[in-house]
Every structure is written in structure tokens, then in C-alpha cells.
Amino acid sequence: MTEDNAARDWWRGCVIYQVYPRSYQDTTGDGSGDLKGITSRLAHIASLGVDAVWLSPFFKSPMADMGYDVSDYRDVDPMFGTLADFDALVAQAHRLGLKIIIDQVLSHSSDKHEWFIESRASRDNAKADWYVWADARPDGGAPNNWLSVFGGPSWEWDATRRQYYMHNFLALQPDLNFHNLEVQDALLDTVRFWLERGVDGFRLDTVNYYVHDRWLRSNPPLASSVAGTNTETNTYLYQEHLFDKTQPENLAFLRRFRALLDEYGDRAAVGEIGDEGRSLQTLAAYTSGGEKLQMSYTFDLLGSQFSAAHVRGCVEAFESAVADGWVCWAFSNHDVVRHVSRWTRPDGDHDLVAKFSILLLSCLRGSICLYQGEELGLEEAELAYEDLRDPVGIRFWPGVKGRDGCRTPMAWEAGSDNAGFSTARPWLPVPASHRARAVDVQNGQEHSVLSAYRSALALRKQHPALVGGSIRFLDAEGDVLAFIREGSGERLLCVFNFAGEPARWRVPVEIGSVTTAIAGAAVEDKEISLTALGCFLGQVG
């Protein structure tokens, strides 16, 4: 690979660190994080050894869905600061060798966006067709059976237009009409605005939700729903979503999006795909051919399953389905329960799970994404109902507690008010258990989770086979995962014991000898002894 190609393909195998701006660092004393706060903490992010920082939305917003309801795509919400603050953040990140990726919420806007205000005013104004509008059925009912991810129908009646509008999420988040090329042009123009400000990439929220079926056909029920065996708490998961998302016309828009990125050279995009039962097929379609997204991620490893078989199944399914695309693996983000809480057994050790997980993630083929606080081993926060801010938790409590438990403020200083996050009462409380895991505590501990993260990411950078090499799984009994990473003239053996008790794994004859043990126990007589949640990484001849 030439030097120019390497610079252009910086995203391939990169490590991304996600920042949830409202919970990272407050500098104004209002209890909410801001852009200046992120800038002040970039040195910590750089010290981890990551390549890029993904910022969750900071645009102007009524905050009905914590910024994922955008009212102005070209400005910073005053809660987070100003455009000048953003420019300063980008400049400092670049000085530290970090790329900046920003969230783009293109599938829907806020109902307070000027586009929607104009669109709902009449059926014949210039933006009347910029959102998804439909007439009521003769009995006054919604146009079809589509459901919102956040509960109830995905249609809201508007008395002014005397029509329904579509919303895949909150009723305050109307869906834009991607069948209208003027809408696509306007959205791409907002993307260009941020490219001109120097951002290096985009995380595309709900990327497969952009286009709806133009004939508004109803979704069929899932077979389990028909059989009466569906036990999901959210009725959205009772349908097979054939028509309200993942439409073929979306590929044409993604090609337009990629063409815009390519005008700026070394910019990249990662898409979020939520597509029950067919996420890998969608990922393949969205990242293949070098003309759409550079990479995407799915929710395959963001659930409760924690086993060698599950990880192998997900990775092999991706490798089989996606011939020339690229995946971004993550174990935690702002929408799911933190992985140390999902995966630690009732009598288990959170720190051990955290250390095991980061070495595993660092050894997988693909790019990887970390979520703020996981480098400290932070567990999911248990919040009282009166502390909730997430509309999902408020609506579905107590069956679903929402996403606030993973969005609590970052813990910086154990001895400071609110763990150093803010001098005021934070928008979400800081758990006492998080304070004990603060950055200033772990910085001085040789065997801390924070130290393990820095070591694992340094190891990944030191071995090109981990960044861009191939992956091949090896047979193993019990709850052991074994695979070979190979590339750039090196072959690495990676072995992970998911079980809560020790295990032994014999190196297959065809692998050859293990010449150097890089991490974990030594090899004795071609057999590797693994402790509970033990790992091994070594070079093979």
C-alpha cells in the first residue's frame, strides 16, 4: 500500500473513541458537558492510543431525544458552546493526532426544524413534500401498520395539513422524505458544511432508516408473533420490517454521500445498522464495492450473549456475507447497557471482564469502537425513575429502564465534587461506584482497567496483523475461542477462555510452534493453560 493510500484508508482497522458530549466534562457550571470540556480532556483520549474521536450530536436541538432531534444542522446548541468552540476542538484534536468523527442524524429532524415548520403549514408550499405525509384511511386510521421504535404507531396526525406524518422514533422526530431529491441535496449540503470545517468523518445514525416504501405497504408480523410466542417488551419487535426501512433506493443516496466524501480525500463514514435478522446482509450491501460507506456496525455484539460460540458465529457470518466491505466492532455505546454489566456473572469480577473484553476487541478483524468510561470498567448505573431523562425509559418503565444508565457523567477525580465532571448538580447523577474508578485513581495503578486498555491498544498498533490481517478460526472445545490473525509477514495465535473456570487448549499440529508469547500464559508442551476469563496471544512459526 502506498503512503497516499495508507493515509486515505486511515479508517481501516482504526480505533474510535465515542464521546457523549453532555456527560464528558462541564466547564460552565450548568451540570451538562460541553465542547470546551471535551477539548480539555482530549489528552486523556490521546493517551489511550486511539485514532479517532466520535462525538454524539451537539447540534441545535430541543433535546427531546438528547440531541438526536436536530433543529439546525449547521450550528452548535448553546448547551454545548459555539461553532468557534467546535473549531478549537478540531484543531486541538488534530494537534494530538486524533481524527474527529461527528454524528449525522439524517433520517429525521426535530419538529422544530424550519423545514418541518414550513412543510406542515400547507400541502402546497415549497417544502410540502420534504417529509413523509399520507392521508388517513377512510375510517380516520393511520395509513398502514408501521410502528415506532419508541412505542406505538409511527404515524402522527397533524390537524393543520389534515394528514399523518411518519416518525420512526418520537413523534417529535418526523422522518424526512428521501424520495425527494431536493431533500437529499439539502442534507448533503449540511454534510459539506462540516467537511469544510475540517471534520474527518461521520457516524451515520440509523443509516438504513433513510428511505421508506413509496407505496406504504404494511409490514407482516413475525412468525413468532403469529404463533403467540413473542416475548419482546417493545411491540416494534413484533413485525418483520420489510417496508419501513432498508429499502433498495437507499443505496443510491449512499453513493451520493460517498461521492461527496471523496471530494475531500481522506474522509470516512461509519453507518449504524439496526436491521433485525438481516443486519449482516445490509452491512454487506452498504459497504461493498468501494462506492458507498467505508464501514458499518451492527448490534450483533451489543447484546447479552457472551460466549465463544456467539463471537465466532458473528465474525464468521460477517466474513462470509461481506466479501469486500468492512465492519466496526463495538461492545458498548450510548444505546445499550454497558458490557461489563451485561457480561459479568452474578459472582464475577467486573475488572476481569473489562480486561478480557478489550484484548478480545483489539484482536478482532475490523475497526473497533470504544465508549467513554469503558476504559475505567464503569458498570451500568442504577437510577431512580425520578432521575431519568431518556424518553424510552420514561415511557416503558419499569419493563425497560432506558439508556440513561450508560450515559451518566464521566468520572475524572475521585475526591472532587461529582467526580470532577461538574461543580453543579449533573444532569444525571454520578454513581458512588464510578467515583472509586475515576481516572485519577486508575492512572496510578499498574494493573488497573485503564492500564489494560492502554496496553491492549498499544499491542494492536504494534502488530499490523491485528489492524488489517486476515482471521481464521480454529476448533476448540468448551467455551474457548481460538483464531489466527495473519498479515504483513506475521501470524498471531489468539486464544480466549470465556468460561468461569480454567481451561486447557492444545495448539494444533498444523499451526506450527508458538515462538513468542506476547500476552497471557506460556505454552507448555504445545498446550496453553488459561485461567477463568484468561487470554493468550502469541506469534506462531
Return the active site residues.
Answer: 205, 263
With 0-12 / 13-18 / 19 or more C-beta atoms within 10 angstroms meaning exposed / middle / buried, residue 351 is middle
* 225-229 long-range Cβ contacts below 8 angstroms, 24+ apart: none
> By C-alpha distance, which of 219, 127, 119, 126 is closest to 163?
119
Output the CA–CA distances (angstroms, integers) from residue 174 to 14, 134, 217, in the order listed.
34, 13, 19
Give the whole-angstrom CA distance, residue 366 versus residue 11.
10
Return the C-alpha cell found at 389: 431523562
Cis peptide before 220 (omega within 30 of 0): no
To the nearest 10°, report the CA torsion of 199, 3, 454, 42: -30
Paired with 527 in beta bridges are 506, 524
> By C-alpha distance, which of 332, 363, 362 is closest to 453?
362
Give the start-end residues of each E strand in 114-176: 133-134, 155-158, 163-166
Contact 172, 70 (CB under 8 A): no
Which residues have C-beta within 8 Å of that of residue 459, sequence separation ≥ 6? 359, 362, 466, 518, 519, 537
Contact 469, 511 (CB under 8 A): no
